[in-house]
Structure 1
Amino acid sequence: MTPFLPPAPDHLPAVLRDTFAAQRAAFQKQRNPGLQERRADLRQLHHLLRDHREAIVQAIAQDYGSRSRFETLLTELLQGQEAALAAMRHLKRWMRPQKRRLDPTQYPLARAFTFAQPLGVVGIVVPWNFPIAMAFQPLICAFAAGNRAMVKMSENSGHLARLLQKISPDYFPADKLAFLADDDAGPGQSLGPLFTQLPFDHLFFTGSPQTGKAVMANCAANLTPVTLELGGKSPAIVAPDFPLDKAAERILWVKLLNAGQICTNVDYLLLPEGSEEAFIAHARRIAAERFPDLLGGDYTAIIDQRQYGRLQAVLQDAVAQGARIVPLLPGQAGDAARRILPPMLVLNVTEQMQILQREIFGPLLPILTYRSKEEVRDYINARHHPLALYIYSHDRALQDFYLAQTLSGGVSINDSLIHTGLHDLPFGGVGHSGMGHYHGYEGFLTFSKLRPVFRQSRWRTVDLLMPPYGQRAYRLLNFMFWRNR
């Protein structure tokens, strides 16, 4: 008898239905690839990134209009290659069955263990801000776990999507890995909402909380497990004991990286009251040193006109409500035609301003001041859990206070962003900032079924507890109660 598995809905484009059907059929023929095949798949991902490095850099630059070559190499290609190699090194240990303890009634000869088994066909929805990193990091986890994958690229990553569609068949058959461009659905139709209606065995989505809700609703129709990597307003707290110049150096590094278009970026800064002017002076000096020519290529453009216009509207809203705008590069005006938006600090902000209500995703940094650690704690906890928290303090007790009294996806102490690039640390949000984890072993588990197995021996201890319940059974039962007193 042929088991029932829900097919792709008929209303979906043929490219989705056919690709999904091919991958599901291939998985049914080989449900649990071994260590060597999985390592070979990871090696192919590594080779794809290595062999086409320059073409990938150029495609991303075309999609952005202007994207720092160095930042693409550092944050996307190097990270992807490192992650693939790290997974290859650790995969044998990850795949090894794990012995689990027995209950007293099962001693002494039975065995209990878990082993990780592939889920099947997974879908990955990729954002535009780090299109290689956000495609290949979950792909590495999915392939390490033995799955097949369909990857839907962003509508803002058209050049990269076409490049990946062209080169991927040289490394993988389409029933193992398929890249899909957003316009593959046909003229004037976005593939994203249709893609998430497929009955995947797992769906991985990176994007905004608003879109994440729609994705989760589509997945619910098929009971598809989902990992959501969202965003939110991630704060940086500078304590009075931390050198202000050092904090400015490290915070500005991440705030200006990719022109601030990072889901784990510092979205607002909490400074001790009275330190604002000193921070401004440090920030202006640092920005001038790092970007003597804003149009020279080291500074990335805003991805499209819609996002550029949104950031301009956020600034105008703040100014209209009394905010003070501090350009970090006052002698450089940027370039509206190329969507080069100069970095700015925003002071005297209030809760009514858009800049404090939604994730900024750009080179604008609002500054708030505080008088006590309790004030900081209460402010953060009155809002959605952020994707990241950044604590700048050498005081271990103060670090522990913020760690214990707040909740976030991840934390960097005395730095920003670094924790997100460590392959052995899980990455993921909580609540409004996401659900589930990936990177390293936790990513391997995300795309696996951790299957529990109990293997009974020839002789069962529980046979001593069968009715009729005589003295021997009661003595054994009383002994177990005594052990658990």
Structure 2
Amino acid sequence: MTNAEHISEIATLDNVVSPDKVRLLQLLQTQKAAFLAEPYPSYRSRIDDLKRLKAAILASKETLLSALEKDFHYRSHDESLLGDIFSSLSSIDYATKHLRQWMKPQKRHVGVVFQPAKAEVLYQPRGVVGIISPWNYPVFLTIGPLVAAIAAGNRAMIKVSEFTPHTNTVLRHLLGEVFSQDKVCVVHGETDVAQAFSSLPFDHLLFTGSTQVGRHVMKAASENLVSVTLELGGKSPVIIDNNISLDAAVSRFIYGKTMNAGQTCVAPDYIYCPKNRVDELVDAIKTRYLAMYPSIDGCNKRTRVINHRQYTRLQGYLEEASNLGANVIPLGDVASDETSCFMPLTLITGADQSMAVMREEIFGPILPIVAYDNIEQVIASINENSRPLGLYIQSHDKAFQNKVLRETHAGGVCINDAAFHVVVDDLPFGGIGESGMGSYHGVEGFRTFSHAKSLFKRGRICFSDMLFPPYGKKIHDLFYRFFIR
């Protein structure tokens, strides 16, 4: 069955084929046909695409900053420059620098039994990949996967979040100037479009978003046996040891939490602090926060919570925690504002598992502090729950660091830092368990969007037929004696 026939069959078998599904299937069929006409784009073609993409981002920088500001009610231009623009350009630069090496066939060892022969792995484009990007970093989490997909020689359909319409418009125009629709296209729409998109027979699908939605995406993809990369989230803890300076520890993790108003999948979600140091930690965070965000600026230059729905959800966490006996501590001199969706960083002490703030991913400027007696207690607590996307160790004690590294699981770890492993281009980024499946960035991104095709190659000389039937020959006895032992 051809790709076109397969897509047509899917449309026919659907009980109700929505206009959105038909439109998406047509886009997919167009891209698949274009891919079959050029199934292995040259190195030069891929490099040209990446360079033109970089130039288009730079040319649209100010427009993107303005669009991001509108979508968030207000978003710090510095945070947009660092979190969306710089990270996107950095991923392009890194791929451009290393692509030639990534594309080379990888030589593999051939055992003596199979000599003379050669073995290689060829990295072949998968075809048409689907990318579902979220709202929290709508540029970087669209461009980052796209860079990996283009570097690997694919075509891409991108479903952008409905919560960032202004940024989406800029991205659609930007990408439309660089790529034809049959190479890269951007799809807008609400939940029904997202559902239709995730059910398409892509050659690979990457989703970034919540664990709950990730389950639905994976289920939809499985109907067409589409391989998936899921970049999810979860509750990423900070662990502070009993010997480190709290001022030093806070300086290492606080920006990972406050950047983008905590709306980052790898933001610290809560802190494990030695029981006798909790009050000292609260004071250290207060001091550092006020230095970073002085009240003289009010909230005029601070990133907002994305919309009223998310603002209400976060305020609900605080209200429930307070009603159940926790201590809620807003920081700074500027109060929350429902109209503009502004929230300051808010600490919680005395929280427990009866509270939603300790069970669900926070994804906002709320930071619970959990007191602990010993590191074994912390490790047991982490291992009893879903494996986090990030884990952040604040310690200069090598034994402490290694104990946590060996005895816990997480998608990624930072020691004396938090969240910034994501923008180290040569590190794979991905979760484990409920925090994700698969990884990308750097060479792992290239390989995620490639099929590793094994190649076993023989020349004119071949001795393998000596082991062919009829069995019982002397060569069989010698082979078994030397190689089966």
2:173 corresponds to: 166
Cα distance in 1 for partners of 2:291, 2:207 equals 37
2:6 corresponds to: 6
Is 1:471 matched up with 2:478? no
1:182 is paired with a residue whose SS is coil
Structure 1 stretches lacking a partner, 5+ long = 184-188
State the shift of 1:61 in Å: 1.0
2:141 corresponds to: 134
Identify the match of residue 294 of structure 2 among 279, 292, 295: 292
Identify the match of residue 302 of structure 1 among 282, 298, 305: 305
Identify the match of residue 53 of structure 1 among 33, 55, 61: 61
The answer to whether the 8 A contact 2:54-2:89 is kept is yes
Is 1:93 matched up with 2:93? no
The answer to whether the 8 A contact 2:106-2:120 is kept is yes
State the shift of 1:347 in Å: 0.5
What letter corresponds to residue 375 of structure 1 in structure 2? Q
1:367 corresponds to: 369
After superposition, residues 188-199 of structure 1 pair within 5 angstroms as: 190-199=192-201
Cα deviations by residue, 1:214-257 (Å, 9 ceiling, x for unpaired):
10111011111011000000000000121101111222211111
2:223 is paired with a residue whose SS is helix
Cα distance in 2 for partners of 1:444, 1:315 equals 42
State the shift of 1:307 in Å: 0.3
Cα distance in 2 for partners of 1:350, 1:361 equals 18
After superposition, residues 23-62 of structure 1 pair within 5 angstroms as: 23-62=31-70
Is 1:116 matched up with 2:123? yes
Cα deviations by residue, 1:41-93 (Å, 9 ceiling, x for unpaired):
11122112111000011111111111010000011111111110110110111
What letter corresponds to residue 254 of structure 2 in structure 1? L
2:327 corresponds to: 324
Cα distance in 1 for partners of 2:436, 2:353 equals 23
Cα distance in 1 for partners of 2:46, 2:174 equals 20
1:179 is paired with a residue whose SS is strand
467 and 24 in structure 1: CA distance in 2 versus 1, 3 angstrom threshold: closer
457 and 342 in structure 1: CA distance in 2 versus 1, 3 angstrom threshold: same
Is 1:22 matched up with 2:30? yes
After superposition, residues 170-319 of structure 1 pair within 5 angstroms as: 170-183=177-190, 190-293=192-295, 295-319=298-322
What letter corresponds to residue 121 of structure 1 in structure 2? V
Cα distance in 1 for partners of 2:469, 2:226 equals 44
1:393 corresponds to: 395
Pairwise CA RMSD of aligned residues?
A: 1.5
State the shift of 1:398 in Å: 1.1
State the shift of 1:479 in Å: 2.7
2:14 corresponds to: none
Structure 2 stretches lacking a partner, 5+ long = 12-16
1:146 is paired with a residue whose SS is coil
The answer to whether the 8 A contact 1:206-1:230 is kept is yes
192 and 472 in structure 1: CA distance in 2 versus 1, 3 angstrom threshold: closer
1:151 is paired with a residue whose SS is strand
Identify the match of residue 426 of structure 1 among 425, 428, 432: 428
What letter corresponds to residue 308 of structure 1 in structure 2? Y
The answer to whether the 8 A contact 1:295-1:334 is kept is no
State the shift of 1:296 in Å: 4.5
Cα distance in 1 for partners of 2:379, 2:318 equals 27
The answer to whether the 8 A contact 1:114-1:450 is kept is yes
Cα distance in 2 for partners of 1:477, 1:368 equals 61
Cα distance in 1 for partners of 2:222, 2:58 equals 38
Cα distance in 1 for partners of 2:144, 2:302 equals 24
1:125 corresponds to: 132
1:186 corresponds to: none
State the shift of 1:156 in Å: 0.5
The answer to whether the 8 A contact 2:161-2:188 is kept is yes
The answer to whether the 8 A contact 1:23-1:176 is kept is yes
Percentage of matched positions with identical amino acids: 38
**Greater alpha carbon shift after TM alignment, 249-258 vs 289-298:** 289-298
405 and 129 in structure 1: CA distance in 2 versus 1, 3 angstrom threshold: same
**Greater alpha carbon shift after TM alignment, 162-171 vs 117-126:** 162-171
The answer to whether the 8 A contact 1:268-1:367 is kept is yes
Cα distance in 2 for partners of 1:471, 1:119 equals 46
State the shift of 1:110 in Å: 1.1
Cα distance in 1 for partners of 2:208, 2:78 equals 23
The answer to whether the 8 A contact 2:253-2:416 is kept is no
Is 1:147 matched up with 2:154? yes
Cα distance in 2 for partners of 1:25, 1:264 equals 38
Is 1:77 matched up with 2:77? no
Cα distance in 1 for partners of 2:179, 2:35 equals 14
Cα distance in 2 for partners of 1:282, 1:373 equals 22
1:412 is paired with a residue whose SS is strand
Identify the match of residue 483 of structure 2 among 471, 480, 483: 480
What letter corresponds to residue 54 of structure 1 in structure 2? E
Cα distance in 2 for partners of 1:82, 1:390 equals 24
Cα distance in 2 for partners of 1:286, 1:126 equals 33
Cα deviations by residue, 1:121-145 (Å, 9 ceiling, x for unpaired):
1010010000011001110110010
243 and 311 in structure 1: CA distance in 2 versus 1, 3 angstrom threshold: same
Cα distance in 2 for partners of 1:203, 1:466 equals 43
Cα distance in 1 for partners of 2:315, 2:475 equals 81
Cα distance in 2 for partners of 1:76, 1:91 equals 22
TM-score (ref. length: structure 1): 0.95
Cα distance in 2 for partners of 1:340, 1:434 equals 30
1:67 corresponds to: 75
State the shift of 1:280 in Å: 1.3
Cα distance in 2 for partners of 1:98, 1:5 equals 35
What letter corresponds to residue 398 of structure 1 in structure 2? F
TM-score (ref. length: structure 2): 0.95
The answer to whether the 8 A contact 2:53-2:175 is kept is no
Cα deviations by residue, 1:131-169 (Å, 9 ceiling, x for unpaired):
011001110110010000011110101111112222322
What letter corresponds to residue 24 of structure 2 in structure 1? L
